Amino acid sequence: MKIAIAQINPIIGDFSHNFDRIINFADKAKTLSCDLVVFSELVISGYPPRDLLEKNDFIEANLACLNRLLESIHGIGVICGFVDKNPDKEGKSLYNSAALFEDGNLLYKINKRLLPAYDVYDETRYFEPDLLCESYPYKGRRIGLTICEDIWNDKDIIKKRAYSMDPVALMIQDGADLIVNISASPFYAGKNEFRQNMLGSIAGKHSVPLIYANQAGGNDSLLFDGISTAFDQHGKIAARACDFEEDLVVFDSEADESSESIKNNLHTIADSVEESILKALVMGTRDYVTKCRFSKVVVGLSGGMDSALTAYIAAMALGPENVLAVFMPSQYTSVENYNDSKKLAENIGINLIKIPIDGIFKEFLKHLSPCFKEASPDITEQNIQARIRGTVLMAISNREGRLLLSTGNKSELSVGYCTLYGDMNGGLAVISDVPKTVVYDLARFINKEKEYIPKRIIDKAPSAELKPDQKDQDDLPPYDILDSILYGYIEELKGVNELVEIGYERKLVEEIVRKVDQNEYKRRQAAPGLKVTSKAFGDGRRYPLAHRYKDC
């Protein structure tokens, strides 16, 4: 059988767009004389539709789109994901489903068996799990059709299994000699290597080809890297789509297995962690901005590393002509930072304007002085400056219809080293899941072939410049130490004692953990960020605001 894997970028709820993309890729597959084309999980509705699934009109529109596809696509078999109704009175009212159809006939339909309810997933909120794990005869093969999580429960690979059933093993027992997995598997750095090894191991273990069709594109915080892959019966990669964009690859079970033949079917993907994160952020920024019906953005440039990286990503995602940078100096701002911001803007081709905030700041202090009386300056004055800048940026955003991109990194957001209604203002927090040490790694990667980000920005000590001679390290430990502790606490879920046992000073660990817990209220009010680590703030980390648990 000659099988096309169609990796498309659906827009949630835009059934006309998704219909057109499915038709377009089905036509491409037919042109290549394929017998079957496979699309991703919930491709008709886009993934994840979240509480849109509670709207009956949404479900009906998704089913109407499926019926239109049945009527419109001929001459090739199609597997695609959609939302189906559960006819039973008991249980959840919906299924996460996959259909196999050809020439106007719905040949086969299955429902997802394993429904994830951890990290960013919440599928048990909407869907009823199915128990049926049968294979289906099609064009000389018996297809074992699975949906995403269905394949993530092999007892030889998953150390702590969340489910008692392994749908793949049960379908193999039923005679399946081809496994198809349609998926919407979100990206995080390092995930693809494990995923590819897992899928290859499953194919080799059962001695059957395995087709993996993943979604591409960004939907809100979730980024989908694609890399749809076909594995032969030995578990070796026989075809692979590119990463972070739409693509189509073909697997022919009867084709020559020579290295040259396979090489032509292996499309290019990132070959480093830095490249994959950068690709993810560029794609995620582009998709969030455009899917929210914006075309232009505004970003505050400070002369520092975070805003420089954010501006570069925005320029790559949307085109430099659609990015406006604003430099807002105060009495504490160095001349070097303006020169660095100017140089950055020139290097990446974006427009830069300068709006000083000294006069506005003095007016604030003048009107607040009766309230402040003789109190000495403290963090309040620093926050006022940040909030003035945030207000200026929002004014430009409103006036020009530009989405404001906030520039804070994960290290700052973790410990609350940011100002609500100030530098946290924005419609998208582009690098809010990128630790500060990785921010520098990305900058060096960007500059490998050409100096886009001025070297002095990378080399200088980071500073908020909200008081004289201020440096981040006045209030925070060195970022390599901070990020290591944050990784252990947030992503590895280690407690204080475990972190101390590793070798970190107890007083430092307790202080960092206290700041992380204390600033949950800030993160709850932050703009949505793009998820690139295994545990991001937001949907994937749900902590109460009011609690008294002390980790020690």
As beta bridge partners, residue 137 has 142
Q: Is 193 a catalytic residue?
A: no
pLDDT band of 548, cuts 50, 70, 90: confident
Whether 256 and 300 share a structural domain: no
Is residue 77 situated within a structural domain? yes
What CATH number should be reported for the domain holding residue 44? Answer: 3.60.110.10
Whether 124 and 104 share a structural domain: yes
β 77-85/2-7 pair status: unpaired
Whether 545 and 445 have beta carbons less than 8 Å apart is answered as no
β 105-111/94-102 pair status: antiparallel
Query: Chain centroid to CA 424: how far?
Result: 20
Whether 258 and 303 share a structural domain: no
Max Cα–Cα distance, the chain, nearest Å: 86
Is residue 515 situated within a structural domain? no
Residue 257 is predicted with a pLDDT of: 65
Q: Provide the residue count of the chain.
A: 552
Is residue 399 situated within a structural domain? yes
Q: Could you give the CA distance from residue 445 to residue 356 in angstroms, rounded to a whole number? A: 32
Note the pLDDT tens digit of each residue in 507-538: 999 999 999 999 999 999 999 999 999 999 98
Residue 472 is predicted with a pLDDT of: 73
Is residue 529 situated within a structural domain? no
Domain closes at, from 472, 505, 525 = 472
DSSP calls for 468-484? TT--GGGTS--HHHHHH
pLDDT band of 377, cuts 50, 70, 90: confident
Domain closes at, from 428, 454, 472 = 472
Average pLDDT in the 345-349 region?
A: 98
Tokens 């455009």 locate to 290
- Number of domains present in the structure of the chain: 2
Whether 201 and 310 share a structural domain: no
Q: Considering the chain, what is the average pLDDT of its residues?
A: 95
Average pLDDT in the 451-473 region?
A: 83
Note the pLDDT tens digit of each residue in 426-445: 999 999 999 999 999 999 99
pLDDT band of 288, cuts 50, 70, 90: very high
Is residue 520 situated within a structural domain? no
The total of other beta-carbon atoms located within 10 Å of residue 540's CB is 19
Average pLDDT in the 459-472 region?
A: 76
Residue 513 is predicted with a pLDDT of: 96
Please tell me which residue, 469 or 84, carries the higher pLDDT value: 84
Domain closes at, from 269, 286, 307 = 269
Residue 265 pLDDT > 90, yes or no? no
pLDDT band of 372, cuts 50, 70, 90: confident
Whether 306 and 259 share a structural domain: no
Whether 143 and 240 share a structural domain: yes
Residue 258 pLDDT > 70, yes or no? no
Whether 202 and 305 share a structural domain: no
Residue 74 is predicted with a pLDDT of: 97
pLDDT band of 315, cuts 50, 70, 90: very high
Whether 223 and 251 share a structural domain: yes
Which H, E and C letters describe 126-151, residue by residue? CECCCCCCCCEEECCEEEEEEEHHHH
Count of H helices and E strands in the chain?
17, 19
What CATH number should be reported for the domain holding residue 281? Answer: 3.40.50.620
Of all residues in the chain, the percent with pLDDT exceeding 90 is 88
Whether 311 and 191 share a structural domain: no
Q: Could you give the CA distance from residue 524 to residue 280 in angstroms, rounded to a whole number? A: 23
Which of 2, 34, 102, 112 is flagged as catalytic? 112
Is residue 332 situated within a structural domain? yes
Whether 116 and 151 have beta carbons less than 8 Å apart is answered as no
Whether 105 and 231 share a structural domain: yes
Q: Could you give the CA distance from residue 238 to residue 208 in angstroms, rounded to a whole number? A: 13
Residue 328 is predicted with a pLDDT of: 97
Residue 547 is predicted with a pLDDT of: 87
Residue 157 is predicted with a pLDDT of: 94
Is residue 206 situated within a structural domain? yes
Q: Is 41 a catalytic residue?
A: yes
Note the pLDDT tens digit of each residue in 117-174: 999 999 999 999 999 999 999 999 999 999 999 999 999 999 889 999 999 999 999 9
Whether 183 and 69 share a structural domain: yes
What amino acid is encoded at 232 in this protein? D
C-alpha to C-alpha distances, 46 to 24, 88, 326, 357, 476, nearest whole angstrom: 16, 25, 35, 43, 41
Whether 386 and 239 share a structural domain: no
Which residue segment(s) compose the domain that 352 sits in?
A: 277-472
pLDDT band of 464, cuts 50, 70, 90: low
Residue 259 is predicted with a pLDDT of: 59
Residue 297: strand, helix, or coil: strand
pLDDT band of 254, cuts 50, 70, 90: confident
Closest Cα partner for 21 from 84, 102, 78? Answer: 78
Q: Where does 476-536 have alpha helices with state H?
A: 479-486, 496-502, 506-518, 520-524
Residue 260 is predicted with a pLDDT of: 64
Which H, E and C letters describe 319-330, residue by residue? CHHHEEEEECCC
Is residue 179 situated within a structural domain? yes
Which of 2, 41, 65, 128 is flagged as catalytic? 41
Of all residues in the chain, the percent with pLDDT exceeding 70 is 98
CA atoms within 13 A on the CB side of 146: 27
C-alpha to C-alpha distances, 170 to 133, 153, 365, nearest whole angstrom: 6, 12, 71
Burial call 337-352: b when 16+ CB within 10 Å, e when fewer: bbebbbbbbebbebeb
